[in-house]
Chains A and B, each alone.
Chain A
Amino acid sequence: MVTPPQAGTYTCPYCRMPSDKIDLTCPHCGAPVDVRQHVSDSGWSEQPAIRDMARIHFGRSTCQISGKYVPVADFGLHEDDWVYFSHHVLLFMSPTVRSDTLPMAGGWNRMLAGMPLIMMRAAGPGHLALSHDDPGETIAVPLQVSQVVDVAEHRFLGATGNVAYQWHQSNIWYNTQSGNDQETHYPMGMMLDRFTAQGGPGLLLLHSPGNVFIRDLAQGQNILIQPSALIYKDPTVQMRLHFEYPGGTYWFSSARMQTKTAWLTLYGPGRVAVQSVFRRPEMVGFVVSSSGATQQRW
């Protein structure tokens, strides 16, 4: 435990937002302010779980995070505020909340990419709660005006009305061939969500299975991560595939190709966040083509 900082002196190490009024949690992202920051020797900072019943403030509304295993984001919406979310994360809402569909283009592309087709918006007054269906953590990412963040698909939980939502191709893919079968793989998903705060600060809520770790990559610094472990990154962080072929003795000539690993290289500068739960990419067969990639044969 550390002593809570004095009013006017605190900048949250996780969301980087300054606070005038200090409680036991950051009013912008809900991170506890009275616990020591946990940073691994390698430089990853563990994002502390939002305390049960902590409140995050936005506009004239609040978002209260409740629960420990599968947290619930419970919005107390003022009549001037609204939020949007994918319809399948809705847990409950009071009858006074006004809900409809957020118009979105590119439905066909979204369907092909397995992204949610329907985005709902809900306006106050009233309460509305969202939750994902994996044990993990809710992450609040407050955005300054015009701040942009890229988010891996299926991590989005909800956002305030002034956060613009777009998506673009992740451009991370590879084709494998096994016998006569060719298959295209998107190890981090076909699309990447992009959120931009417009006209004022905004709030983005994400859900991460497992635990969350963040770090700032310096200019020219890079790191290899499992592609499906990425949660979000600054748009300045560039991505590229990296194939690694382990050394050693093999029973037959193709073994070296079969035991390869596909990594995602992140190039700084900028902030990145990863989760501790991930899926290992499918690597059956030879890689015959890919998006821009580097490789290492040990």
Chain B
Amino acid sequence: MQRIECQWCKAQNDADRTSCATCGAPLDQKNLVSDSGWTEAPRLRDMTEFHFSNSTCQIEGEIVPVAELALAQGDAVFFEHHVMLWKEPQVPMSAMNTGGGMKRMLGGMPHIISVAHGPGRVALSRDATGEVVVLPLHPSMEIDVREHAFLAGTHSLTYSFVRIKGLANVMHGGEGMYMDRFVTANEPGLLLLHGYGNVFQKTLAEGEKILIEPGGFLYKDSGVTMNTVQQNLKTGLMRHGMYLAEMTGPGRVGIQSMYVHAGATE
């Protein structure tokens, strides 16, 4: 039987499907790739449904999309507690033990990670215009995500947080002090992110570099190294140090087009 490969997550799909069963990306539209090599994250059609484990996720809305999760018995998802839009009353909730409470508090990261267990439905959304980015993770993958950008992770993912290395990166990088890290062990997992504005992804080759505005960073494979480089700008007698994040491959880098620039005055 003929199969269609999803251009976004590379999963195989039945020939009669119009959206990927694993990530929801439209299968009847080509990936949009800019001349500079950035692939636009697929715009998920309203009410698109895809599957993980025995559960489903449906994306609703296009301006501030909602991820509605229908959890099967034995499945669970975790998320920052303030992104929950609604839930069915019978859905059991618990709190994840994240460890490092003091560090998380100092780093401005959410103190409480909620876990919703099936059976039942919960819906999650963030608070600004943007896109839900669906990242299915194969076993033995590691991905680093900008803090406060993840919407939900499935129960098979291990969640931790890593300190951004280098004082210059922390002080001037604009990404915060920590990044969320998601790891799969023997099972695949599914990660949902919310990108502000539009989201683009580029796969860097070994040693390939790209300079990005730190506020635009969204995620990267853990194999991509991140350093902060300073650009000295001078106007008359005034000097200004602008800091950019230098990403070095190999691996994927995701960016978002709307961000808050720490140095912007308007």
Contacts and interface: CB of A to CB of B under 8 A. Distances in A.
Interface of A: 52-53, 55, 62, 64, 66-72, 74, 76, 87-88, 90-95, 99-101, 103-105, 107, 114, 116-120, 127, 129, 131-135, 154
Given A117-B235, A120-B233, A133 B34 contact: no
B35 interface: yes
A70 B198 contact: yes
Report, nearest first, the 4 A-B pairs whose CB atoms are least far apart. A70-B197, A67-B198, A127-B36, A70-B258
A154 B35 contact: no
Interface stretch (B50-58, B99-107, B205-213): B205-213
Given A107-B235, A107-B236, 20 more contacts: A66-B200, A67-B40, A69-B197, A72-B200, A72-B257, A76-B35, A87-B242, A88-B263, A88-B264, A90-B213, A92-B255, A93-B210, A93-B244, A99-B231, A103-B236, A119-B235, A127-B35, A133-B258, A135-B63, A154-B266
Nearest to B262: A88
A114 B197 CA distance: 25
A118 B40 contact: no
Interface in B250-266: 255, 257-261, 263-266
Contacts of B231: 99
B189 interface: no
**Interface residues of B toward A: which range?**
35 or more
B266 A69 contact: no
20 contacts: A52-B40, A53-B40, A62-B35, A64-B35, A66-B34, A67-B200, A68-B198, A69-B131, A69-B257, A70-B257, A71-B257, A72-B198, A74-B35, A87-B242, A92-B211, A93-B244, A103-B235, A117-B238, A118-B235, A131-B197
Contacts of B98: none
A131 B212 CA distance: 12
B257 A67 contact: yes
Contacts of B263: 87-88
Most chain B CB inside 10 Å of its own CB: which residue of A101, A107, A154: A101
Contacts of B234: 101
Interface string B95-133: 000000000000000000000000000000000011100
Nearest to A105: B236
Contacts of A127: 35-36
B233 A91 contact: no
B81 interface: no
A95 to B, nearest CB: 5
B238 to A, nearest CB: 6
Nearest to B259: A133
Contact of A87 (B196, B233, B238): B233
Nearest to B36: A127
